[in-house]
Structures are given as structure tokens and as C-alpha cells.
Chain A
Amino acid sequence: MKITTEAGERHVLAITVDNEAGVLAKITGLFTARGYNIESLTVADITADHALSRITIVTSGPPPIIDQIIAQLDRLVPVHKVVDLTDAGEAHVEREIALVKVAGTGDKRIEALRMADVFRAKVVDTTLTSFIFEITGTSDKVDRFIALMRECGLVEVGRTGVVAIARGPEAL
């Protein structure tokens, strides 16, 4: 017998929750307990009184599973709102930051700097033999930049994961 899994589509979910101990564990635990995917997850407190946090989850699954994920999140007591930005009427903006460390000297070092310029990555630290670049963009753009840096002495990458927000004047 073979165990098969269904192919899915990528969805970006924005979730507002009470900013309390255990809420993140509750949400990530829901994903593991029910076998859903997390491709990236970001969380930070977003209100002046520190009452609410916003979580952005990039997940993937067939449409009925995405619908279930939203329904399951929505019924958790500390969850205020769940919005599927991928499905929402208006398009949304997604951004991710990566810090990319490249080590090397000579031509490779020059090439790295040239490509960083093309990608509008900033140099945030340098030594005689290394750079740290800060790049902001969609996950695709960050992926492509990192792939190029592999050829130019990439030694370390840190990524924030995706934050996203819907276009237009309305709030979540």
C-alpha cells in the first residue's frame, strides 16, 4: 500500500489574535494536529495597547483543505479574524526581508555587489572579505537573489517569512 498526498495551491492567510501566552502554540499546534502545511509564519503585536497580534501564515493545500484551515482557525477562542488574502477580492502585497551573508574576495566579491545593486539589496555590513546584504521583496525575488549569491560565496541566510496586506483603502 502507498500513502499518497494531494497537491495544493499556495494561500496567504492574515489572522488577528489576542496577544496572549499560548496563542501561537495553539495555532501552530492546530496545523500539526490536522496535518496542514506551514510554508512560513510571522507574528508580531500590532496595536498600541498590545492587545492584538497579527499572524501571517503561508500555507498550501487543495481548496477544500484551505477552507477547512480557515474554519478551524476561525473557531479558536482567541482568534478574532481570519482572511485569505489569496482569495480576497483585491490583490494583496507580500513582502519578505532576507539578510544574506556572502564571503569572498576578488571578482566574486565585485560580482556579488553588482548583482545586489540590480536587486536593490542594501549592504548593511562589510569586512574585507564579506558582505551582508539586506533584500526586501516577494519570496520569489528573495529566492532568485539567494540562488545567484550561491554562485558568489553565499555562507548564511536569514529570512523573516512573509508579511502581507490587502491592497485598497479597507482594513482587515
Chain B
Amino acid sequence: MVGIVVVSHSADLAAGLAALASQMAGPDVRIEPAGGLPDGTLGTDEDRVRAAIRAADQGSGVVILGDLGSAILTVRHVLERHGNGHVRLADAPIVEGAIAAAVTASASMTLDDVVRSAEEARGAGKL
């Protein structure tokens, strides 16, 4: 099953979103938060992202959702060094993208399907 990583400047935001997505997707999808800096302040940390990727990876790939700006740069930097197509950064809004990705992953869909479902969130209206 494809795993999900949520990267945010805020540890609280990452953890809360992971919990919300997990409630929607059920217990079989690994959804790992990577938020904040080790000293508890706001920011994104490459080591936390790498650890979350390892924890989320069950062998079918990992999709990463990031919040803004340097979170995206941090993920891209990690993937430049370790990228092999097995771990993908979705270009999507973080809340809707993570939830859509998690539910899609829970149906045992492929990595491509999970990335696509996250990126469809860009055009999905709420009203």
C-alpha cells in the first residue's frame, strides 16, 4: 500500500492532518507527519522528512504533501539525493491532497493513482 508523508512548518499541523487523513483512510495506510524543527520551532527539517519517508514506505511507494515555500524546497532537496521515482512530491494543496491521497491509497491503488488523486485537489471546489 502506498504511504503518505505530510510535511509542514508546524508539527501540530502535520500531526493533526495525519490524524484526520488516517481517520478517513483507515488503519492500513501509513500516514507520517514531518513537521517543525527539532528544537520545537516552526520550520522543516530534512532528517524528519527522511525518517517519515522510511516509516511510510511499505514497498509500494510514498507520496509527499508539503505546505508552503521552504517545506517544498526541503522535500525537493531530499528527493534530489534519494529520488528514484518511488517517492513523489504531489503538487497539491496539503489538506485536501493528503486526504484524497490517503483514501486512494487505502483502496490499494498504484503510486500514480495516488499522486493523481492528490493533484486533482487543485481543481476541486468545495461548494
Chain B associates with chain A? no
